[in-house]
Structure 1
């Protein structure tokens, strides 16, 4: 494991002590504190029409401006809801603010509370009930824009214009959130980084790490076969809670008993696997994570954190993992910017 970061779903409750304002400010403070701990990344889930993080670019910009080393990113932006050219402008501006310390995870998106909510945002024309067709079309335009391809005709009749600002090399910091081996292969052919989803699809109910390991292998093979030479990056996410005190044991005991195994269900007519929660003393976690083949195959591990617990509790989780678990998995504190992946096998 070369790097680890936290993945926040940004939950809040309207009218409670942790409302939208508190959630966003807490998220920024957790990002700053994580940077001081040497944690490699601060990543945020994006959902619409829900009491969760919905507009990540302002938050990521705030964290990037207040930190020196930590990578800021998303896991993931739902492309169905995005204007691809405006997102290209925002991504380039964020890249400059962060001095390249970004990892923007993008995908079709997961089920949302709203029925075809992207249409309420003004994006119509999808023939797919899941909106996958417009997501891919818009993502293709986004990639063309960040690559600097001329997009719009000039009013003066001169050469076509590209989107500005333009951040060279931005494509290298774009990830695709994949929930299946087929999309993992597609991601490899595109030369993008791979962000394996918090839930995955397969033909049969198999442990999460087995399905993700297959994804990673097929991704790296497709990446190499397509002739890409830049070292690719791969991330997986896990819920991990180190128990290093009596307070931890009391706080996390319920999670370990309730969610200590993978879950299975049906989503969109496919078998879906949901990852289990790891709760235990450091030695137990080290042994379990070494046996997790997807964690050992990836270069970046994202720890999903209970953002509702506030800044101090979440930084304590990150510090416990950084101090007692991560070094035994090969991690070293981040002092030089984002981690670099390794070549495809």
Structure 2
């Protein structure tokens, strides 16, 4: 069995929460069931991808609110919420509300850039202000100030109406649990400067060359040099097959093979480089992870679930992650 001097401390998973556009509720209920299963299996955290105009979670805050009432311990996060789609003040209000309802378990993961498919969505998203919207780090700093409780206006009383100078409710500690989804060296360093936790994933941007692990490892090292006490989580697509049926193994291997070409060299003008999906037994996966330059520098992970699988597949993958792969990495399940 592969070994390491430092055991994995926190095991999480990341999901897109797929559903049928003609009948969305069963998929959403299945997602909530998977989040509950994650807590029962001892996972430390569960993270929701954020997808707009697709058949996946478009409102992770609402899903986290529901999950917070069906769970009691597991941390709930977003990986990530694109702030370009959000009003920072309204998002700060919603996250603070859910954080308080959950007992302080919310981990907002955020990023900022021009929305995907901008020319297609800008008239629907910002019909009057598209040309002046700020999609820079400044939008993140506005959000952080609001989550942190800094004044956004003046406190006044008008008749019987009493107004606060900061967003309400305020959730102390939420600002310290904000993560930034960084894909480049520049954004990793910026996250450290802002004292944000760092979310890494299965894609890096601005890549030069095809060595994903080395690029990601360099980003993590730069972040840690600037902010040693910050938390770093890795989010590769990992699919253990220990208890999978032959049909499931065939499906998983075909899924990974179809996505393999994009891992060989940077893609498109953004020079996106994707990590290969890691498929195999827990022992095989652990061996590959211990050789990964990025994984070698983290003590917590949020392994990403593949897209478009069935509920039964996710149950098998999550169960193998918690009962086989996690222990192979030195992790112990959290206690209720």
Q: TM-score, normalised by structure 2?
A: 0.87
Q: Deviations over 1:158-211 (max 9, x none)?
A: 997111100111111100111101000000000010011331023412322211
- The answer on whether the counterparts of 1:23 and 1:307 sit within 8 Å (CA) in structure 2 is no
SS state of the match for residue 135, structure 2? helix
Task: State the superposition RMSD in angstroms.
Answer: 2.5
SS state of the match for residue 202, structure 1? coil
Greater alpha carbon shift after TM alignment, 302-311 vs 325-334:
302-311
- Are the structure 2 counterparts of residues 118 and 75 from structure 1 closer, same or farther at C-alpha, using a change threshold of 3 Å? farther
Deviation at 1:78, TM superposition (A): 0.9
- Are the structure 2 counterparts of residues 292 and 120 from structure 1 closer, same or farther at C-alpha, using a change threshold of 3 Å? same
Structure 2 gap ranges (5+): 1-7
Deviation at 1:140, TM superposition (A): 1.4
Q: 1:150 — aligned with what?
A: 151
- The answer on whether the counterparts of 1:50 and 1:113 sit within 8 Å (CA) in structure 2 is no
Q: Alignment length, in residue pairs?
A: 323
Residue 242 in structure 1 maps to residue 240 in structure 2: yes
Residue 194 in structure 1 maps to residue 198 in structure 2: yes
- The answer on whether the counterparts of 1:43 and 1:75 sit within 8 Å (CA) in structure 2 is yes
Deviation at 1:260, TM superposition (A): 5.3
Residue 105 in structure 1 maps to residue 109 in structure 2: yes
What is the alpha-carbon distance in structure 2 between the residues aligned to residue 210 and residue 109 of structure 1? 24
What is the alpha-carbon distance in structure 1 between the residues aligned to residue 185 and residue 47 of structure 2? 23
What is the alpha-carbon distance in structure 1 between the residues aligned to residue 131 and residue 197 of structure 2? 28
Equivalent residues in 2 for 1:289-328 (5 A)? 289-306=289-306, 308-328=308-328
- Are the structure 2 counterparts of residues 43 and 209 from structure 1 closer, same or farther at C-alpha, using a change threshold of 3 Å? same
- The answer on whether the counterparts of 1:174 and 1:192 sit within 8 Å (CA) in structure 2 is yes
Residue 284 in structure 1 maps to residue 284 in structure 2: yes
Residue 75 in structure 1 maps to residue 79 in structure 2: yes
- Relative to its length, the structure with more strand (as a share) is 1
Q: 2:60 — aligned with what?
A: 56
Q: Deviations over 1:24-53 (max 9, x none)?
A: 211111000110000111111112122221
Equivalent residues in 2 for 1:203-282 (5 A)? 203-224=207-228, 231-245=229-243, 246-247=245-246, 248-259=248-259, 262-267=263-268, 269-282=269-282
What is the alpha-carbon distance in structure 2 between the residues aligned to residue 140 and residue 123 of structure 1? 24
Q: TM-score, normalised by structure 1?
A: 0.85
- The answer on whether the counterparts of 2:44 and 2:75 sit within 8 Å (CA) in structure 1 is yes
- The answer on whether the counterparts of 1:29 and 1:311 sit within 8 Å (CA) in structure 2 is no
Equivalent residues in 2 for 1:22-33 (5 A)? 22-33=26-37
Equivalent residues in 2 for 1:145-184 (5 A)? 145-156=146-157, 161-184=165-188
What is the alpha-carbon distance in structure 1 between the residues aligned to residue 280 and residue 304 of structure 2? 16
What is the alpha-carbon distance in structure 2 between the residues aligned to residue 256 and residue 274 of structure 1? 12
SS state of the match for residue 80, structure 2? strand
Structure 1 gap ranges (5+): 225-230, 337-345
- Are the structure 2 counterparts of residues 118 and 88 from structure 1 closer, same or farther at C-alpha, using a change threshold of 3 Å? farther
